[in-house]
C-alpha cells in the first residue's frame, strides 16, 4: 500500500463523494487511496484487471459496503453469491427481454419535470411489475410509496457510510433516527405485499411478476425469493430511471437538436450514454475486493482484502 497516495473523507454523506474522488485523481494521479483499505483507479488496464474474467484468476468479489445486510435484504439478487445470482438472473431475464417489452407496449408554463418523471416511472413500473399503476399521475403530490423509495435511498447511503466504521457500525446504526429504519422497513414490506396480491389474481398478462410463477414451479426460484426481488425491481427501476430522464431532458434543452436528429437512434443513444456519464444515477460505483491471494492491478500487486472502485475513470474524465 506504500505506493498509493492516502486520502480519507466522509464526503459521501454530503453527496459529493464522486467529486471528491475525481479531484483526488486530478491531484495524485491514476491510483488514489480513498480509505484505509480502499483504492480508486482511472486506467483502462485497471478496469480490465478488476472486472475482466481471465482464465486461472478468480473473479473479484463484490464489496459489501455498497450492498450490505444493513440496507439490502440478504435474499435479493444484489446480495446473492455468484451461483445464486446467475440462477436469479436467468429466472428474471425473460421479463426484461425485448419480446416481453414489446408485448407490454401499446400500439409556455414552468413545470417540475423531475416530479412528473418520478410519478411516470413509478406508475409504469407498477403496471409492468404488479399489473396496475399506482395512480401517481392522477393524484396531486407524491404517492406515499414514491416518497418511501426516495427516503429509502437516503437511508441506504447513510447506512453505507455507517457500515464503514466496523466494528462499531451496528452501534452507530442504533443511534440513527428511528424514522429512517421505519421508512426502510415499510418500503421492504410494500413490494412483497403488492407482488403477492398480484400473484393471487387470475389476470393473464405479460408483466414482470407474470414470469416468476414459472420459475417457482420449475424450482429455480422460491416464493420468498420472488417476494424479495419485487423490492429490488421497485428500487432499481423507478427513482434511478427518473433521474436519468430528468438530466437527459435538461441536456437536450441546452443543445440545439432537430427532430430529424432525434429520430436517429444513434443520436438518442449517444445523448442517453452521455447523460449517464455526466450524471450517473448511482455515482459511487460498484466496488470489488481483492481475493485472499491478492491481485495484480495495472501492473502492481495489491494485497488481499483491498476494496477498489474504478468509477471515476468514466465519470467526467474531461
- The boundaries of the domain holding residue 115 are 77-251
Q: Is 100 within a domain? A: yes
Q: What is the pLDDT of residue 246?
A: 92
pLDDT range class, residue 102, cuts 50, 70, 90: low
**Which pLDDT score, from 0 to 100, does residue 310 have?**
63
> What is the pTM for the complete model shown?
0.59
Is residue 257 domain-resident? Answer: no
Whether residue 230 sits in one domain with residue 138: yes
Same domain, 183 and 37: no
The mean-pLDDT minimum among 132-136, 146-150, 200-204 falls in 200-204
Cell numbers that stand for 307 in this block:
476494496
| 144 and 209 together in one domain | yes
In a domain, 83, yes or no: yes
Is 266 within the bounds of a domain?
A: no
Closest CA to 89 of 215, 239, 247: 215
Average confidence score pLDDT of the chain: 78
pLDDT by residue (tens digit) across 252-262? 888 776 656 66
Query: Is residue 293 very low, low, confident or very high in pLDDT (cuts 50, 70, 90)?
Result: confident
pLDDT at position 140: 66
Q: How many domains does the chain have?
A: 2
User: With b meaning 16 or more CB within 10 Å and e meaning fewer, what string describes 234-265?
Assistant: bbebbbbbbbbbbbbeebeeeeeeeeeeeeee
User: Is the pLDDT reported for residue 30 higher than 80?
Assistant: yes
One domain, residues 23 and 90: no
Does pLDDT of 270 surpass 70?
Answer: yes
Asked if residue 105 is part of any domain, the answer here is: yes
245 confidence band (pLDDT: 50, 70, 90):
very high
- Residue 6 pLDDT: 44
Is 273 a domain residue? no
Kindly state the average pLDDT of the residues 208-216: 76
Q: What is the pLDDT of residues 148-197, one digit of tens each?
A: 787 878 888 888 888 888 888 888 888 878 877 787 777 777 777 777 77
Q: What is the dihedral of CA 260, 263, 268, 271, to 10 degrees?
A: 20
On whether both 22 and 44 belong to a single domain, the answer is yes
Residues 205 and 302 in one domain: no
Q: Are residues 99 and 228 in the same domain?
A: yes
| 17 confidence band (pLDDT: 50, 70, 90) | confident
Say if residue 88 is in the same domain as residue 17.
Answer: no
Per-residue model confidence (pLDDT) at position 258: 62
Residues 175 and 31 in one domain: no
Q: Is residue 270 part of a domain?
A: no
What's the rounded mean pLDDT across residues 86-115?
77
* 135 and 39 fall within a common domain: no
Task: Assess whether 238 and 124 both reside in one domain.
Answer: yes
The pLDDT tens digits for 61-76 are: 888 777 777 877 878 8
Same domain for 120 and 177, yes or no, is yes
CATH code for position 117? 1.10.630.10
Evaluate whether residue 262 is within a structural domain.
no
Amino acid at each position: 500500500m506504500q505506493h498509493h497516495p492516502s486520502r480519507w473523507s466522509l464526503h459521501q454523506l454530503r453527496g459529493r463523494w464522486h467529486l471528491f474522488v475525481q479531484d483526488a485523481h486530478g491531484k495524485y494521479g491514476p491510483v488514489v487511496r480513498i480509505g484505509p483499505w480502499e483504492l480508486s483507479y482511472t486506467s483502462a488496464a485497471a478496469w480490465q484487471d478488476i472486472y475482466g474474467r481471465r482464465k486461472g484468476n478468480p473473479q473479484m468479489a463484490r464489496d459489501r459496503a455498497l450492498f450490505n445486510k444493513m440496507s439490502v435484504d440478504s435474499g435479493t439478487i444484489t446480495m446473492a453469491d455468484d451461483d445464486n445470482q446467475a440462477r436469479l438472473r436467468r429466472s428474471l431475464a425473460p421479463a426484461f427481454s425485448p419480446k416481453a417489452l414489446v408485448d407490454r407496449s401499446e400500439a409556455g408554463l414552468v413545470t417540475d419535470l423531475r416530479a412528473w418523471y418520478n410519478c411516470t416511472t413509478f406508475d409504469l413500473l407498477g403496471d409492468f411489475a404488479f399489473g396496475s399503476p399506482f395512480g401517481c399521475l392522477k393524484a396531486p403530490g407524491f404517492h406515499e410509496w414514491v416518497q418511501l423509495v426516495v427516503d429509502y435511498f437516503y437511508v441506504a447511503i447513510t447506512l453505507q457510510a455507517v457500515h464503514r466504521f466496523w466494528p462499531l457500525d451496528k452501534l452507530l446504526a442504533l443511534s440513527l433516527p428511528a424514522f429512517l429504519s421505519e421508512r426502510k422497513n415499510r418500503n421492504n414490506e410494500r413490494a412483497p405485499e403488492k407482488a403477492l396480491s398480484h400473484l393471487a389474481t387470475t389476470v393473464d398478462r405479460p408483466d414482470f411478476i407474470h414470469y416468476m410463477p414459472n420459475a417457482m414451479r420449475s424450482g429455480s426460484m422460491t416464493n420468498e425469493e420472488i417476494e424479495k426481488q419485487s423490492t429490488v425491481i421497485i428500487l432499481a427501476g423507478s427513482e434511478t430511471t427518473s433521474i436519468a430522464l430528468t438530466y437527459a431532458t435538461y441536456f437536450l434543452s441546452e443543445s440545439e437538436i432537430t427532430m430529424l436528429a432525434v429520430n436517429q437512434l444513434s443520436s438518442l443513444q449517444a445523448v442517453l450514454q452521455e447523460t449517464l456519464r455526466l450524471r450517473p444515477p448511482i455515482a459511487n460505483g460498484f466496488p470489488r475486493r481483492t481475493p485472499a491471494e491478492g491481485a495484480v492491478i495495472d501492473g502492481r500487486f495489491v494485497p488481499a482484502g483491498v476494496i477498489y472502485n474504478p468509477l471515476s475513470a468514466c465519470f467526467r474524465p474531461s
